[in-house]
Amino acid sequence: MNLTFALLRRDLLLALRHGSDTLAVLLFFLLAAALFPLAIGPEPQTLGRLAPGILWVCALLSALLPLERLFAADFEDGTLDQLMLSGLPPSVVALIKAAGHWVVTGLPLLLAAGPVALMLRMPEEGIPVLLAGLLPGTMILSLLGTTGAAMIIGARRGGVLLPLLVLPLAAPVLIFGVSAVDAATGGQTAQPHLLLLAALLAIGLPFCPLAAGAALRAAVE
């Protein structure tokens, strides 16, 4: 247990020391979202209608950014060998990495999503539902992303391969996340969509670390 927290603390400390990498995710999210009003025009009606989709797609793409390097540094400097020999099961090592990824990218995206939603003129009644959906949504993205990142370790064009692996799996998250907001702004209940997101998280939480752990084991062989 101590080792688990020590490893998580180490990941967060490294993210803090390489602060520009961490900040880049947030800036990418803000910039990508800011491009849409320029492209489709500032008309509040259109923009507000599209805002949930824009926010979710931007969050999804931003969360992908740091994934290519998630295990690459550890693989190159030999730390991955040491992690595999730490006595922790590989799946726990993967879960620690996913947790670190969420704190460094998911949490900042969650904090920035509210202001960006206002900027895109999203109807105000949709914002709490958007955040309620992004909370499990970003966690699932971290879990799926960690699995993808573990699979591309050592691959020559990993950065290209990663979105191809992760994005199709992330499609349900996008669908339920956006339909939750649409339901709320359309005067319907968002609960079923949010519950489906929670169900996806409940499936991903045990299975993604297991798959990622197996990929890590294969990567060091």
Does 35 sit near another protein (CB under 8 A)?
A: no
Does 217 sit near another protein (CB under 8 A)?
A: yes
Binding segment toward another protein, per CB under 8 A, in 44-52, 88-96, 97-105, 174-182: 88-96
**Closest to another protein by CB, 194 or 216:** 216
Please, what sign has the CA dihedral across residues 68, 211, 79, 14? positive
Does 17 sit near another protein (CB under 8 A)?
A: yes
Q: How far is the CB of 68 from another protein (least distance, A)?
A: 18
**Closest to another protein by CB, 88 or 181:** 88
Q: How far is the CB of 143 from another protein (least distance, A)?
A: 21
Q: Extract the tokens encoding 94.
A: 């993967």
Does 14 sit near another protein (CB under 8 A)?
A: yes
**Closest to another protein by CB, 82 or 191:** 82
Does 38 sit near another protein (CB under 8 A)?
A: no
Label each residue of the chain as H, E or C: CHHHHHHHHHHHHHHHHCHHHHHHHHHHHHHHHHHHHHHHCCCHHHHHHHHHHHHHHHHHHHHHHHHHHCCHHHHHCCHHHHHHCCCCCHHHHHHHHHHHHHHHHHHHHHHHHHHHHHHCCCCHHHHHHHHHHHHHHHHHHHHHHHHHHHHCCCCCCHHHHHHHHHHHHHHHHHHHHHHHHHHHHCCCCCHHHHHHHHHHHHHHHHHHHHHHHHHHHHHHC
Q: Which of 58, 59, 67, 88 binds another protein (CB under 8 A)?
A: 88
Q: How far is the CB of 84 from another protein (least distance, A)?
A: 6
Q: Extract the tokens encoding 179.
A: 């339909």
Q: How far is the CB of 9 from another protein (least distance, A)?
A: 8
- Give residues 50-79 in contact with another protein (rule: CB under 8 A): 76-79
Q: Extract the tokens encoding 188.
A: 């319907």
Q: Which residues bind another protein (CB under 8 A)?
A: 3, 6-7, 9-10, 13-14, 17-18, 76-79, 81-82, 84-90, 217, 220-221
